[in-house]
Amino acid sequence: MIADPTSARWDVLGFGAVTVDDLLYVDHHPLPDEKLQVRTQQREGGGLAGTALVAAARLGAQTAYCGVLGEDDLSHFTRQEFEREGVDCTPMVQRAGARPIHSIVIVDQSTGQRSILFSRDGFVEPPGEVITDELIARCRALFVDHTIVHAGLRAADLAHAHGIPVIADLEQTTVPRVLELMRVIDHLIVGIRFAERVTGEHDPAAAVRRLSESRACCVVTAGQQGCWYSERGGQVRHVPAFKVPVVDTTGCGDVFHGAYAACLARGDGMSQAIRVATAAAAIKATRPGGRNGIPNQMTIDSFLREQNLVD
Ligand SMILES: Nc1ncnc2c1ncn2[C@@H]1O[C@H](COP(=O)(O)OP(=O)(O)O)[C@@H](O)[C@H]1O
Ligand SMILES: [Mg+2]
C-alpha cells in the first residue's frame, strides 16, 4: 500500500525569513565614488527560518518550510539548497514575482568587518489560506520569526489547538503586531538587543525574568557571553558559551534556534535542548560561512564529550 503523503509527520515546520547572501570579499570597504575589485565571491543561503531549519535537519530532524517563492534565480537557489539539506519544500507556495530576501554582504578581508545591504523586494508572507489546520497538525514543533507576523499568529493559533509548541526568533520590535506574536510564543529565544529594546532591561537575567512569564521557556542569547533562560517563569539560569577559536559568528543565533527546535521535537527537556544548541552554535562559530559550518549530531555529541572531560 502506498503511504498517504498527507499523513507524513515533520519534526519542525518553519515559517519566516529565507535569504540569499552574496558575499563579496574586498581588500577594504569601498569609499564613495571608488572602483574596487572583488577578490572572491560566494553565494550562500541564510535567513532566520532558513538557517534554523537547515540546522535542525543536520541534527537529524525531519523539517519543512512554508514560504512563498517565485521562478527567479534566487528562488531556485533557495529551493535547491533546501532540497540538498533535506528540508521538505512541499508546503511552499509558488507565486510569480515572489523572492527570498537578497543580501549583498561586503566583507573587508583585512579586518573581517562586513556591511550588509539587503532587499526585501518580492518577499511576501504565506497567505492565510495556505496555513491550514491540516498543515500545522503535521508538525511536532513550529518555528516562526518576526518577518511573517500575520502568518505566524495564525500558525501559532492552530498549533496551540493541537498542543504543538511554538518557537520564535524575533529581532525587530517595530514590526506591526510583533509584540502580539511574542505573547503567544511558548519558547521565546531572542538576542539581547531585542530583549533590551522590549523590556528596557540591560541585564539579560532581568530581561529573561520579564519575558518568561506564562510561557514554557524564555532564552536571551548574548553572543560569547552565552545565554540566560528560565523554564516556566522559574529561576533564571546562565549557560556560558563554550570557549572556542572563533572564525565567523554569522548564523550562530539561527543555528541555536534550529538545534533547540530539533531537540524539543524529539522530546528533550529544555535545559538539554539549550546545552545542545549552545554546542551547535559554538561549533558553527569555529567555521566560516553561515550554513556551511553547521554541525551534525555526531559532531555535537563528540564536542560535548570532550567538553565534559574538560569541565
Ligand atoms: N563567539 C562565540 N563563541 C561561542 N559561542 C557563541 C559565540 N557567539 C555566539 N555563540 C553562541 O550562539 C548563541 C547565539 O548567539 P547571538 O550572537 O546571541 O545570536 P545572533 O547570532 O542572533 O546575534 C549564543 O548564546 C552562544 O551560545
Ligand atoms: Mg539572531
Nearest CA to ligand 1 atom 17: 223
Q: Tell me the ligand closest to 281's alpha carbon.
A: 1
The CA 117 to ligand 2 mean position distance, Å, reads 17
Nearest CA to ligand 1 atom 23: 253
Q: 221 forms bridges with which residues in the sheet?
A: 191, 227
Q: Tell me the ligand closest to 191's alpha carbon.
A: 1
The CA 33 to ligand 2 mean position distance, Å, reads 33
pLDDT confidence of residue 2:
42
In whole angstroms, give the CA distance from residue 307 to residue 104: 37
Ion ligand 2: residues, CB < 5 A? 191, 253
pLDDT confidence of residue 93:
97
Task: Provide φ and ψ at 273, rounded to 5°.
Answer: -60, -40
A 10 A CB-CB count for 100 gives 28
The CA 193 to ligand 2 mean position distance, Å, reads 10
Nearest CA to ligand 1 atom 5: 282
pLDDT in tens, the chain (311 residues): 344 445 559 999 999 999 999 999 999 999 999 999 999 999 999 999 999 999 999 999 999 999 999 999 999 999 999 999 999 999 999 999 999 999 999 988 888 788 899 999 999 999 999 999 999 999 999 999 999 999 999 999 999 999 999 999 999 999 999 999 999 999 999 999 999 999 999 999 999 999 998 899 999 999 999 999 999 999 999 999 999 999 888 899 999 999 999 999 999 999 999 999 999 999 999 998 889 899 999 999 999 999 987 66
Nearest CA to ligand 1 atom 7: 224
Which of 197, 227, 256, 278 is the pocket-test mutation for ligand 1 (most atoms within 8 Å of CB)?
A: 256
**Looking up cell 572572491, which residue turns up?**
40
In the chain, the largest separation of any two C-alpha atoms, in whole Å, equals 66
Nearest CA to ligand 1 atom 20: 253
pLDDT confidence of residue 311:
62
Nearest atom, ligand 1, residue 277 CA:
27
In whole angstroms, give the CA distance from residue 143 to residue 52: 9
Q: Which of 251, 247, 252, 256 is nearest to 287 (CA)?
A: 247
- Please give all residues whose beta carbon lies within 6 A of any atom in ligand 1, as ranges: 191, 221-224, 226-227, 241-242, 244, 246, 249, 252-253, 256, 278, 281-282, 285
